Every structure is written in C-alpha cells, then in structure tokens.
Amino acid sequence: MDFHKIKWLFTDVDGVLTDCGVYYSSEGEELKRFSLRDGMGAERLRKFTPIQIAIMTGENSGPVSRRAEKLKIDTVFLGVKDKVKVMEEFLKSNHLNYDEIAYIGDDLNDFDVISKVGISACPNDAVDPIKEIVDFIAPNKGGFGAFRDFCEWIIKSRNSEN
C-alpha cells in the first residue's frame, strides 16, 4: 500500500458515520446519530495530509447533507444505487485511478468499490464479507469513531513512510 498515492478518502454513511440507527416520526426520517470523534478525524486528516474527503451513500438524507456541511465536505453523492458507476464517473472527471482512493464501508453495497480502491477499511461491526477483503478493520464500531480510526491510521502510515 502506498499511502502517499491517496488523494481522496470516500466514506459510506450508514454503518460508518452512523450506528445504522435512524429515528422516525410520523413525518418521516428525522434524526441520525453521528460521532463527534469522526468529525475530528476529518479535521485532522485535512490538517496533516492533502487528502480530500467525499461521502457516497445510498440514502438521500437531509441529516447527511447537514453533517457534510458541518464537516466541510463539499463532495457528496446521495441516493447512489451503483457505487462503482458513480466512482468511475468521479475518477474519470477528476483524472484519477482507483489506487488514489481510500474507502471505508460496512456492508455488501460497498463490496465492489472496496475491492477496487487503493486502501480500504471498515468498522469492526461490518458484515463478514467486507471484513474479509479490507486492509484495515477499525477498532471502533460505525458511528462510534470508526471513521476517525481510519483517518488516524492513514495519517500515521503516511508519516511512517517518510
């Protein structure tokens, strides 16, 4: 793995940035729980590396948009049904290759993207098929600091490569 090749870190939302829980009212989806530690991970990744952050999720959720705005993440793909297709369009339009992408996901809809990227990760409560193919299993669960764990691992690995 060449950590210095990584230019973008993509993250799934449900099961990575959240604990997979959602709170509904009679009006529909109202709340998702996000970890402040993950927010610090995004901040530290920006501070200590040139890596940019993007969100890609199958959900089309107002709370996700608001969280992305709070974390200063401008590249957000909501309502994605085919993550490989969206990723390939992103790579092409930005003149990038898969080996320049890090990705963290937790479930089977992330499998195809995870199997292609340069560096991959999952929370420790991800489904087994994902755990079997990633480069890094975060010590924490989704929504409880797994994204921060991945950011810190990248920062530490980049520094140890110098």
Per DSSP, the residues of 46-87 read HHHS--EEEEE-S---HHHHHHHHHTT--EEE-S-S-HHHHH
pLDDT at 161 over 70: no
Q: Quick one: pLDDT at residue 26?
A: 79
pTM of full prediction above 0.85: yes
Tell me which H or E stretch contains 28: strand 28-31
Cβ-proximal residues to 4 (8 Å cutoff; 6+ apart), any chain: 158, 161
For 65-93, the pLDDT digits (tens) are 999 999 999 999 999 999 999 999 999 99
Please tell me the predicted confidence (pLDDT) of residue 1. Answer: 77
Q: Name the CATH code of domain 3-161 (choices 3.40.50.300, 3.30.300.130, 3.40.50.1000, 3.40.50.10260).
A: 3.40.50.1000
